[in-house]
Structure 1
């Protein structure tokens, strides 16, 4: 049985943005990047740099937290397709999700112009390339 999502942290990331951390299992995952996906190169600059600083830990080696789709919201939260395509290779929660069948190999959009990595996406959105928060990103 899935644990219900519970908000455990809300961090402001600019005057009109925030990063919400939710505990509990995500409801599902997006099968393709949404139109406003921050992983799409064309959307660089749509979100403040602080949002990418807050979410950088999703790209750390053996991370247990995932980058969720901002368009799905938190009830229910869904894992971002762009993240699954480009930023989740070293994420422990995602690796376990593939092993247990939570995620399948049905995410499309690899041919879209996506940032190559979390670090590339964060830098394109104003995070300094030498910001310490990006050092552990894979």
Structure 2
């Protein structure tokens, strides 16, 4: 099934953030791809504006997910890094897990260090810690959802 583009926002000179509804039969990646923004060793691959546009995926009860940029718009898949570090609070992922759409036991970090949260990833990539877009971002600290 082909996804439908519902929004496109510029995020720097050579980047954009695209919102896609629907997509591939395989709903998620099993490990972060080589340039996955959740990987610490990929910090700086994407401009800060891209992280500002996608911050809402980490808000409490979010209905949109952070998708893998390498899967593309034709075969959209939820990002493995997001599932491992940023999806505990996400309503779409919670419902997808309960329905069997997502198999979180099949997702691994692939041996790569990942940013601890969306907020940490965005700040590492140039978003100001005081930017109001990050204020509603949820994360875990010592096992507790904040």
Q: Tell me the TM-score range normalised by the shorter chain.
A: over 0.9
Query: CA–CA distance in 1 between the matches of 2:110 and 2:102?
Result: 16
C-alpha distance after superposition, 1:29-67 (max 9, x if no partner): 000000110000011111000000000000000000000
Query: CA–CA distance in 1 between the matches of 2:123 and 2:85?
Result: 15
- 1:1-138, aligned counterparts within 5 Å? 4-24=2-22, 27=25, 28-104=27-103, 105-109=105-109, 111-138=111-138
Q: Contact 2:4 / 2:23 at 8 angstroms: preserved in 1?
A: no
Measure how far apart 1:24 and its partner are: 2.6
C-alpha distance after superposition, 1:52-105 (max 9, x if no partner): 000000000000000000000011100000000000000000000100001112
CA RMSD of aligned residues (A): 1.3
Runs of 4+ in 1 over 3 A off after TM superposition: none
Q: Which runs of 5+ in 1 are unaligned?
A: none
Q: SS of 1:22's equivalent?
A: strand
Query: CA–CA distance in 2 between the matches of 1:12 and 1:20?
Result: 9
Q: Sort the Cα spacing of 1:51 and 1:110 in 2 relative to 1 into closer, same or farther, 3 A.
A: same
Q: How many residues align?
A: 136
